[in-house]
Structure 1
């Protein structure tokens, strides 16, 4: 007798490749394989048809779509010929300060006024300080009166930028041979024996403020003009002395037909010596209580110590001259 109440046989064990996760993964990654595997499972017919249609559309989309274009960042650069770079001169001034100094080092500011050099250094990316380049230690209270002779990177930086230390001198001074040396003032050349014109040409490059002609004889007046051909007998400063900027050179002259005196403050036509008949009046007048007026420096006088005034009102006193004779000289 058949037992109608017997249990149905247990379902067959599912293979691992029939697992839904495996089949779905294949339908996405490899649609043909996924479709074939789906029809071997125990899925319902409707599920198999839906999965087949979706996987087929997905596969068709992959096949007919264009491959992804290469992105610009991943594209290989094309090698193109480049023209040689031409050197472009740097502008003389930049409108704004540089945030960093030039990698090749600071430009040279030697010879520039301190105001201009400081501004140009800042535009090139450097702060600046200054010091007296001579043996002195003068402060630079007004930068416009100084110019740069030396420059070097300062040992201590001022602010966030590297700092240049300028060694400077006053505008009218020559630069020393090296930083800290004395100012090499030019030496006064010897111009005696030259004409006034030649002497002027020789002294002008020294930077003298003025060249003043005077008469070599106390009783000879220079003409208002036309002394270029006159001869220089004496000079001040003397030959070999330093000539500082702004100095005045005094040149004592005599006309071409007259020889130079042996010493300064000499008359070309002196009064007669004491004891001569024509000199007694002058001496007796000078020895009076009030002194005389109208005397000339270098003129013979008596007695020694007497006082008088010159024709232009300057005080005079009777001194013993280098020749051992009493002559009028300046009396303070």
Structure 2
């Protein structure tokens, strides 16, 4: 005998996870007790987009919700606006004719999640060690190699005053040109290794300066738009990690994608900074890029370490879009790292 509809409704109502049925306009037609308790939502209200999808830049024919995209991921962790602000949930979505069934629950903490947290901690320490080594190399370049090359340049300037033979003057002129270019390369490499300005003037001004440098270095058009909350106090260490993600994106677009135009958008939403990156380059196969690209893995790890996420949208022939979000707020109890203290010797 088939189970009665009323009995099935009671089972669904008592599930330990939230169950919400909404239409294509995201209007709620049903939610069980757990869903109502976790969110405070009501029948007839609209389900808000999660913090990740809220900041996505989408095309006209593209659904904002990432769980409704082509080949959607089975589940997704993000924050939803509830009656008490923002709350993190693990979400999954299934379409049934003209309705969507949204399941939400608090992120599960088990042995696997503990391993994941240990892995994130290991990645964090590895990235901090990399930044410390980059800092050391940048200082060596600036304080020793750069200064030595500059001393040679000044010495040649003195020698130039006493040379009157045209042939030797030309040789000297060529040598000084090479040294000037070398000094400029050292300067650019030092900036690339250690953008100290982030600690002094913050992410926004540092990125604007970096974009000017990248335009000059790569000879391409780069558009930058930022809508950052100036009252929000960001952690310089975390700002540096976001800077690295954007820096790696620029490098990949130019070196591998042969892009001639890049656009970068950043904006704050609650405690998050959303970023959207676009280039008109050659693109790449996503699966092949994720398997081979160490740089993509590092970008992903940095975003995860900052309680965020990152997605690549690309295909052979281009274009390429990168979208994601990170939290740059310093959380209580975080230690001051060597990476965060640019004043140490």
TM-score normalized by the length of structure 1: 0.21
Which structure ranks higher in relative contact order (CA pairs < 8 Å, sequence separation ≥ 6)?
Answer: 2
TM-score (ref. length: structure 2)? 0.20
Larger radius of gyration between Structure 1 and Structure 2: 1
